[in-house]
Amino acid sequence: MRVSVDRDLCVGAGQCVLSAEEVFDQDLHDGLVVLRTPDPSLAGLDAVRDAVDRCPAGAVTLHEG
């Protein structure tokens, strides 16, 4: 599994961080998403899926396979 983010789409809602703080963070200057790791553990898969579903801007993508 691989995660990607599009900072141009991000609106800074922070839902990704609330869902999977080990994978996502927010930039202190503009509040936009920061990807901590593009290759999270399998144990965090449900949290990452939740982050994808909760992102209001569609800025978080999960690539499975």
Range 2-63 classified under CATH 3.30.70.20: yes
| Torsion angle in degrees (nearest 10) through CA of 21, 24, 28, 30 | -140
**Per-residue model confidence (pLDDT) at position 16:** 98
pLDDT along the chain (65 residues), means of 10: 97 98 97 96 94 98 90
**Per-residue model confidence (pLDDT) at position 64:** 87
pTM: 0.94
**Number of Cβ within a 10 Å radius of residue 48:** 23
Domain ranges for the chain: 2-63
**Per-residue model confidence (pLDDT) at position 20:** 97
Mean residue pLDDT across the chain: 96
